[in-house]
């Protein structure tokens, strides 16, 4: 049985994608810690990050770094946070979000009911920033 992330990747469940390549995707979290909170998810179903092929893990980190690099300017933050938790969904994923302090790393502060229009706007801003940063070949249409 496929994970919910596989179903998002396959288009069975809608997602606000900001990155797509042959090995992974990036889409906005439905429970964001901040506007622009993105999940970087491998297409391959890997549960525990320590079980991932090292080349795949490096690719995910590189994609997360590219996405995180545009977040401070795009969302008026000090830097981008990065976390691998792995308890919510049994499919490896990296959380990348705009951050201004350690308080922003509190998963208890997620917005479980984000406004769809605000989510769409955050995805569009992030896609535009990634295109401006030179990653247009990986940026899907809205």
Whole-number Å distance between alpha carbons of 22 and 121:
26
- Does residue 95 have an active-site annotation? no
Given the residues 59, 91, 93, 135, select the one marked as catalytic.
93
Question: Which residue, among 120, 117, 121, 24, has the nearest Cα to 67 in the 3D structure?
Answer: 24
How many angstroms separate the most distant Cα atoms in the chain? 40
The radius of gyration of the chain from alpha carbons, rounded to an integer in Å, stands at: 14
The residues annotated with a catalytic role in the active site are 93
């Amino acid at each position: 049985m496929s994970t919910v992330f596989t179903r998002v990747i396959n288009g069975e469940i809608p997602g606000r994608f900001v990155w797509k390549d042959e090995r992974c995707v990036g889409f906005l979290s439905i429970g964001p810690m901040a506007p622009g909170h993105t999940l970087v998810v491998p297409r391959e179903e890997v549960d525990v990050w320590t079980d991932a092929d090292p080349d795949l893990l490096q690719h995910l980190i590189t994609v997360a770094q590219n996405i995180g690099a545009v977040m401070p300017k795009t969302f008026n933050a000090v830097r981008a946070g990065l976390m691998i938790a792995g308890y919510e969904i049994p499919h490896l994923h990296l959380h990348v979000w705009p951050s201004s302090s350690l308080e922003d790393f509190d998963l208890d502060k997620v917005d479980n009911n984000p406004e769809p229009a605000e989510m769409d706007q955050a995805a569009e801003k992030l896609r535009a920033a990634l295109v401006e940063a030179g990653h247009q070949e990986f940026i899907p249409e809205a």
